Structure formats: structure tokens, C-alpha cells
Amino acid sequence: MVVEVRELLKIYPLSNGKELRALEIDHLRIKKGELVGLLGKSGSGKTTLLRILRGVEKFNRGEVSIDGIVLKPDSPAEDFRKVMEKTAIHLQRSFGLWSEKVIENVIRALAYVQLGEEVLPEWDPVFYEGLKEEAMKLLEIVELKHKAECWAEILSGGEKQRLILARQLAKKPSILLLDEFGTMTCPETRKKAIEVIKRVNKELGITVIFSSHMPEIHRALAERVVLIGNGRVLDEGEAEEMIKKFLSELEAPKVGKKRIGGEVIRLENVRKRYYVIPGGQTLDLKDVSFSIRRGEIVGFIGRSGSGKTVLARLISGLELPDEGKIRIRIERKWVDFSNFGRRSVEVRRKIGILHQEFALPFWAKVSEMISYKIRIKKETAVEEAMKKAEKIGISESLFDAIYRLTDLPKEEAEIRLKRLGLSYGIIKELFPESSEDLSAVYPILERLNLPNEILDRESHELSGGEAIRLGIVLASITKPKILILDEPFGDIDPVTLRKVANFLKEMNLRDRTTMLIVSHQHELVKELADRVLLVEDGKVQEVK
């Protein structure tokens, strides 16, 4: 056996003084060379188990044997380090890459194995060329050899995941751990990812243990599926049998009669082009024209890298078109959202957005994050902020540019503010902390299957599925007129996902909220959306 778990107990102490019993596994065994899938609800303990097998998460009781190394709660740090050398892990929403060429990212990973640091050893041409040759072989395995000279940041989400996989393979692990690998990619890219993992398992003889919420990934990849619930191993066996057992809790889809109003979003001959050297043109959305009506749910589908996320960011005002107009109607007034100013600020206040590369501030308390979101969308708070901005010499246009950044993850907002010659402190200065009424959040938490006590937790104490559902809470808590969700379903299991989908339908029916949903989960998009738009080859067309 390459992995054996016995009497494992993992307890997380929470910042609110309580404890979370994350795992209680009596026995689990995995043979060398196996492809094993972990299936269970969000928060069931799958990621925690992978982290323990990786050697980066200590536990409270029990024994874990990993490729001949036995770990116990009191094992020395050296033993955990040895396990880390034998394993590699890839987390779902991890896109940490060097801002340089694809092949250089892999060369750095190879150099780390021999030199102990991620460097480009160009001072030794012979050594460097050897690493480069090895890097090309790894890129061929993950089907990225043709992108070797491209900059890593211009890759699609699916390509970035395969590049990260190549970097993990550079460590020559005996066990590869994958957490929701391929969930947020299009079906075609997902299929390619599955083929790559199979090749890694067969050609390199690496044991693969993966978690996935998607039944089709388990059907295509797993030789055996382990069903996990409430931190325990509930059952294990063939994929189809375990999937059937898991999906038995699925609730029925919400149905209801809805009212569709007049146009609220209009794109007129919009063009957005990205051009990067080396690598050439990566995206050219051209002559994009369509409209969306009040109360509609519109789904956007297309291959990874086709421009779906760019469209969502254009409509939300986080990117500006190179040509054309983006108009949004709020309170019966059309506003050219391509221009900055007071009227655009009012539109921004009525938009909620969840980003694809969504990330919560690491040490933030959940209640404080919700309070902040309520505060920055309040009309009185925005008016006060504009008065403060005027006093310190910030124009209405600059204030609008700053205000748009409040909907971005902190890291990206900091980068953009720096370009404006400002620090992140300007947002805190314009929107100082204040106590907000959180009573409206309780029914939303209940509907999204989140406990009320989550308000007292900090962001790092949430599972991946809990974090993304909290992202939906943050985007919807202020009852926006327009809700934009970019890949909101990747970290959510099918049972919980149906609850989320029904919540969105209820919100749409009750408040006539206009929704734009970008997702690679096509069946769910069809279930939710009134219309589906395909983004392909720089064009947008309706799917009949």
C-alpha cells in the first residue's frame, strides 16, 4: 500500500472558541499506481484529507503511512518534510505562476529540486539547457509544448492548471494529489485534463488521488471512489454506485412564472483586444452587440480563454472597451458605462459581482466582510465618500475609478490603485468601518446551507465550497439590480449546487434581478438561464 490511514482525527480550533471536527477516518488504504476519487459535499473533509496526505497539515490522533513514511501527531518536522518531497498537490483555485514564459515556469520548478530555490540558472549554460530539455518533456505530457514560449499570464484557466501540473510533476512525486482539478474549465479542456492525468498515471507510474464534485470526472477517471460525509468514509466502490448514493439527496429544481421587462444592458459594436509579445494576439472580441432585459437570466458559455470573463468584466465596468459602447439602464436612465463619473457610480452601486479568480482576504472575519459589502453599496455611504473625495481633491471621475475597484479582490485592487498613484488605504479612508445591520443575511445563509455561526469565523477557516457560497452571499446581500457571477459553481458539490441554483432562481423571481452567469457547467446553465450566449472566435451568438 502506498497510502494507509488508521484512526485519523483532525480537529480545527476556530477563532470563535469552538471546534470543528473535520475528519474521523477509521481506515483507508490506497494501492501504488491507483487512480482514486474522493466524492462528498462541500466541507466534508476532502481537502483536509489531501493536505494531510501532502504532509502540510498536522492531525490530532491516528497514523498515516505515505510511501513508507509513517506520520503521527508527534512526528518530527523532518518526517513531514520527507512526505512533502514524495507528494505534489494542485488546489482548484491556485493560479500562482511566475510572470514570465511558460517554459521558464517549469525550469524554475526543476531547478528547485536540485538547488533548493526557484531560479533560472542561466549562469551555467549546460545545466540550464538540460533543465530546458526536461521542461519540454513535461510540457509535452501536459500538452503545452506548443505554448512553451508564451507568457504564462496569457494562458486560459485550463492551460494555467496544466502548467501548474507540469510544475508539480517537476518534483518527481510518487503521489499526485489534485483538489477539484478541471472543475472550472470547459468540457473540451476538462476532457484534455482527464487525458493528461491518465497519461501521468500510466506513463510515469504516479499514484493519483483526486477530489471532484463532478460525477463525470469520477466516471472518466476513477478506478475507485471513496464517498466522504461529515469527515468520515461512508462507503467506497465503483464510481457509478457511489455517485448514485451521493446524488440521492438532490432536491428538485425550482420552477416559477417570471416577468421579463425592458432592456437594461446594451452592448453596441464593442471591441476588446489583447495583444501580448511573445505569444501574439490572445483575444479579439469584435463587433459584439446584444442586449439583456430586466429579470432575465443569461448564461455565457464557450471554451476556456474565449473571452467570457472579459465580457463579464466589461459589463461590470472593470474593463473598458477599445471601441463601442456599453450602456446600462438603472431607474429608467441609460448610462454610458464606458465613461467615468457620478452617473456611473450610481450604476456601480446596483451591480453585484463574483469573480472567477475569487479570493477572500485571508484573515478577515466573515461578519466584517459582509458588513463592508453592505457599507460600500449604501447610498448614504457613497454620498459621504464622494464628499470626502471632493475635499481631498479627488474628481468625480477618479472617485468612480476608485469605487469600481471595491468589487475586485484586494490584490488586484492594490495593483490598479498603485497605477493611479494611490494606496489601498484610500478605500478605507473613503469608506471607514461602521456597524451594519446583518439581519438580512440570515435567510440567505440558511438557503445556501451555511450555518449562522459562520459569521464568527475567519475566512481561512472556511472550506472551498463554503468560501464560494460566501462569495455569492457577498454579491447578493445588497439586492443588486444586476448580478454577475463568473464561474460561481466550481467548488460546489451537485447536492449543494442545486440549493444554490434554486436560491438564485428564487432571487430572480422575487426581485426580478437580472443575472449574467458565466460557467462551464452547461447543464446547470441550461437549467438556470432564459437564454444562453456562446462566446467563440471573438463573437457572441445566441444558442438556439
Instruction: Give the per-residue pLDDT at 489.
Output: 77
Higher pLDDT, 172 or 153: 172
Q: Sorting pLDDT into bands at 50, 70 and 90, what band is 245?
A: very high
Q: Sorting pLDDT into bands at 50, 70 and 90, what band is 374?
A: very high
Range name among 46-55, 136-145, 366-375 with the lowest pLDDT average:
136-145
Domains 3-249 and 263-376+437-542 share a fold: yes
Q: Sorting pLDDT into bands at 50, 70 and 90, what band is 403?
A: very high
The runs of H, that is alpha helices, within 157-256 are 157-169, 187-204, 215-221, 239-246
Q: Sorting pLDDT into bands at 50, 70 and 90, what band is 94?
A: low
Instruction: Give the per-residue pLDDT at 358.
Output: 66
- How far is C-alpha 490 from the chain's CA centre? 7
Cell of 148: 512553451
Helix (H) or strand (E) holding 446: helix 441-447
- The answer to whether residue 226 scores a pLDDT higher than 80 is yes
Instruction: Give the per-residue pLDDT at 93.
Output: 55
Contact 184, 157 (CB under 8 A): yes
Helix (H) or strand (E) holding 122: none
Range name among 360-364, 371-375, 454-458, 467-471 with the lowest pLDDT average:
360-364
Instruction: Give the per-residue pLDDT at 157.
Output: 67
Closest CA to 37 of 25, 50, 48, 26: 50
- The answer to whether residue 79 scores a pLDDT higher than 90 is yes
Contact 15, 461 (CB under 8 A): yes
Cα separation of 442 and 437, whole Å? Answer: 11
Instruction: Give the per-residue pLDDT at 357.
Output: 64
The CA-atom distances, in angstroms, between 157 and each of 16, 117, 321 are: 36, 26, 22
- End-to-end Cα spacing for the chain: 52
Chain mean pLDDT for the chain:
87
> Which residue type is seen at 13?
P
Cα separation of 117 and 364, whole Å? Answer: 31
> Which residue type is seen at 384?
E
Locate cell 477539484: which residue?
A: 180
Cα separation of 535 and 532, whole Å? Answer: 10
Q: Sorting pLDDT into bands at 50, 70 and 90, what band is 20?
A: confident
Locate cell 487512480: which residue?
A: 35
Cα separation of 494 and 435, whole Å? Answer: 36
> Which residue type is seen at 291?
S
- The answer to whether residue 66 scores a pLDDT higher than 90 is yes
Instruction: Give the per-residue pLDDT at 331.
Output: 80
Helix (H) or strand (E) holding 452: none
- Mean pLDDT across 458-464: 83
- Mean pLDDT across 515-520: 90
Cα separation of 146 and 6, whole Å? Answer: 45
- The answer to whether residue 184 scores a pLDDT higher than 80 is no
Residue ranges of domains in the chain: 3-249, 263-376+437-542
Instruction: Give the per-residue pLDDT at 107.
Output: 92
The CA-atom distances, in angstroms, between 343 and each of 7, 118, 332, 338, 483 are: 61, 48, 12, 11, 19
- The answer to whether residue 469 scores a pLDDT higher than 70 is yes
- How far is C-alpha 229 from the chain's CA centre? 23
Strand partners, 228: 233
Range name among 89-93, 122-126, 193-197 with the lowest pLDDT average:
89-93
Cα separation of 456 and 333, whole Å? Answer: 40
The CA-atom distances, in angstroms, between 525 and each of 54, 191, 299, 388, 450 are: 35, 19, 6, 42, 23
Closest CA to 367 of 452, 444, 430: 452
Strand partners, 29: 4
Share of the chain above pLDDT 90, in %: 42
- CATH 3.30.70.20 is held by the domain 3-249: no
**What does the pLDDT look like over 482-512, one tens digit per residue?**
999 988 776 678 888 888 889 999 999 999 9
- How far is C-alpha 193 from the chain's CA centre? 17
Instruction: Give the per-residue pLDDT at 202.
Output: 87
Q: Which CATH number applies to 263-376+437-542?
A: 3.40.50.300
The CA-atom distances, in angstroms, between 503 and each of 57, 484, 500 are: 34, 15, 5
Instruction: Give the per-residue pLDDT at 308.
Output: 86
Cis peptide before 278 (omega within 30 of 0): yes
- The answer to whether residue 183 scores a pLDDT higher than 70 is no
**What does the pLDDT look like over 27-40, one tens digit per residue?**
999 999 999 999 99
Q: In terms of pTM, does the model score above 0.85?
A: no
Q: What 3-state DSSP class applies to 253?
A: coil
Q: What is the DSSP string of 294-351?
A: TT-EEEEE--TTSSHHHHHHHHTTSS--SEEEEEEEETTEEEETTS-SHHHHHHHHTE
